[in-house]
Amino acid sequence: MKSKIILFIIIAIFIVSFSCIIIYSNTKGLKGLEKEVSKIALPQNIEKIAIKSKIGDSGGNGEYPTYRVVLLVKTQITLDELKQEFENMNLKFSNHYDSCNNIPIFYITHCKGNIFKSSRSFSLEFNELNGIDDYNNYYFIEFVE
């Protein structure tokens, strides 16, 4: 009986340790991407309102998670001008790669409410937008890894 208890304890420790390693590696990747996005120096005409992150669906065969960081910004410029502004920044992330150039993948969408919804069953709620009636100057910038 005592040997069964010891075996159970060893198995439990192994399962907990393995789970912690998986959670840590996923969080490290997500928090690493969030850190890179938060370090972006925005031009004076673009105000950072909030940043949120979450692990989401890869949209492929589901073999790996996708790290998603969404930056909520406010600006008077148009969507096309904002896209051009970010393309002109020549962003490089140390933990991200696109053809080995460390170029982040990002998508910019016009804000229509306080919930960001991507095309891959992924959403984030931004309470910072509660009470806002006019979303014309608000944009979501989604970074994907």
Summarised one tens digit per residue, pLDDT across range 53-76 is 988 765 555 566 788 899 999 999
DSSP designation for 23 = H
**Tens of pLDDT, residues 4-63:** 888 888 888 888 877 666 665 555 578 888 888 888 889 899 999 999 998 876 555 556
The alpha carbons of the chain give a radius of gyration, in whole angstroms, of 20
The CA distance from 37 to 57, in Å, is 20
For the segment 83-96, the average pLDDT, to the nearest whole number, is 77
Give the residue carrying structure tokens 């979501």: 140
CB neighbour class for 85 (10 Å; exposed up to 12, middle 13-18, buried from 19): middle
The CA distance from 43 to 47, in Å, is 8
Task: Name the range with the highest mean pLDDT among 76-80, 106-110, 116-120.
Answer: 76-80
The CA distance from 71 to 73, in Å, is 6
pLDDT given at position 94:
67
Name the pLDDT band for 99 (thresholds 50, 70, 90). Answer: very low
CB 38 within 8 A of CB 93: no
Task: Name the range with the highest mean pLDDT among 17-26, 97-106, 125-134.
Answer: 125-134
- Of 58, 60, 85, which is closest to residue 141 (Cα–Cα)? 85
The CA distance from 126 to 39, in Å, is 20
Phi–psi pair at 92, nearest 5 degrees: -135, 130
